[in-house]
Amino acid sequence: MEIKVINISGEETGAKVQLPESIFGVEPNDHAIYLDVKQYLANKRHGTHKAKHRGEVSGSTRKIRKQKGTGAARAGSIKNPIFRGGGRIFGPTPRDYSFKLNKKLKKLARRSALSYKASENNVVVLDAVQFDSAKTKNYINLINALNIADERTLLLLPEADKNIYLSSRNLKKAKVLVAKDVNTYELMKASKLLLTEDSVKSLEESLAN
């Protein structure tokens, strides 16, 4: 797939870049995308939820009434879950939500997400992106020049750039990542994918079979 290259002012440079069919032209696998997004969100969960059961709440273990003859149900402790202030029945306990996925499946999910973006014409290729200083205005000028100020954007760079990252950090709909570290969740969440010529090569290297 061939796409025109533009500069940060939104003007065509006259150059074109070939998006690799093996990355941007595969048959999307929706289930692979689902699993990779599910794993990403699961890995972000801390799993520190905790409720006290009857062995952990404070209170006496004295038998509060005799076993028989009262007409009421037997009760052995004030910490019984049926009483106010008692323990929680089947309450949440700390756990690890993470699970494993094969590397090939994760690569397939990312290639599928990239192919969706390409097929929907939501990929923009820039010749280069570079800011002299870390100012939010710099990134705002970029997305205004590209007429995507109202879109949720994901900019993939060939390598980390502090000025670009800091310039985008205050914008809710802007995200900047290094191309080799991109994940399926961020790809699917963004409505416009911004690439540079070098980041296209980086994606091809990292997502190759």
Quick: pLDDT tens for 124-141: 999 888 899 999 999 999
Quick: pLDDT tens for 23-43: 999 999 999 999 999 999 999
The stretches in the chain having pLDDT less than 70 are 209
Going from N- to C-terminal start, the domains of the chain cover: 2-45+99-206, 47-96
Residue with tokens 């149900």: 73
Q: Are 77 and 64 in contact (CB under 8 A)?
A: yes
Compute how many other C-beta atoms are within 10 angstroms of the C-beta atom of residue 198.
Answer: 15
CATH architecture of 2-45+99-206: 3-Layer(aba) Sandwich (3.40)
**Which alpha helices (H) appear in 56-196, and where do they start and end?**
103-119, 136-145, 162-168, 184-189
Q: Which two tokens stand for residue 114?
A: 């990239």
Q: Are 50 and 93 in contact (CB under 8 A)?
A: yes
Residue with tokens 């399926």: 184
CA distance 155 to 152: 10
CA distance 148 to 6: 14
